[in-house]
Amino acid sequence: MGLLDTEFGKRRLLSVEVPAIEKYNEGRDAAFKVALARVGGTLLLTYLLKPCHNPYRLETRLLSSYPTVPPETRVLTPLKHCPHLLEGQTICLWRQGSMRASSRWDPAKFTCIFAIQAAWRWLACYEIWHETGEWPLPEAK
Amino acid sequence: MDFRPLAEVERRTLTTALRNNADRGLALLMDRLDTSFAGTAEDVPEVEVINAVKSVPSHY
């Protein structure tokens, strides 16, 4: 399914994803609003998160196979190498094939805003790891 | 970026909040303006769900 080139994808985009982004942006400081752009067959969300004292610039990509395939999020602000951080500062959020609902991306339930919220929680964990050297949450199975 | 570390009290508060989020399903609240941590809550009004990190699926 293509998010941008099929009727189902376009409907999902216009009736689910765009309204969710608009709701997220409501009342938010301009610097922290999500910006949406099309890059080829991909939708790119760029935004700023500041769970604690430090602001982080991020981008979340909705590939043409989204929402079947979960969004990919990477942190553009330089980070120290840490757990759950993949190449290119892509953050590791969802375990493919996990049997636990709490570890899986569910395209029927989640929107791109969930990716932003998951990234926020990841950054909160990173801030603690930065000080203690320990990731504050156990890894799910 | 000059990294500004958490004060010890802030770190303890955030660690507890993250663990309560993972273990008990408490929502982590994001400030509407700048997304900074704004505490936890058991119940979140519908209008604030967009600023509440509750049932985020993730493997860590």
- Using a CB-CB cut-off of 8 Å, the residues of chain A touching B18 are 121, 124-125, 128, 136-137
Give CA angle at A7 (A114, B46), nearest 5°: 30
pLDDT tens digit sequence for A35-87: 999 999 899 999 999 999 999 999 999 999 999 889 999 999 999 999 999 99
Spatial contact of A34 and A45, defined as CB atoms under 8 Å apart: yes
DSSP, collapsed to helix, strand or coil, labels residue A36 as strand
Domain boundaries, chain A: 7-132
A99 touches chain B (CB under 8 A): no
pTM equals 0.92
Domain A7-132, CATH number (from 2.40.160.60, 3.10.110.10, 3.30.9.10, 3.30.450.20)? 3.10.110.10
Residue A133 CB contacts under 8 Å (≥ 6 apart), including other chains: none
ipTM of the complex: 0.91
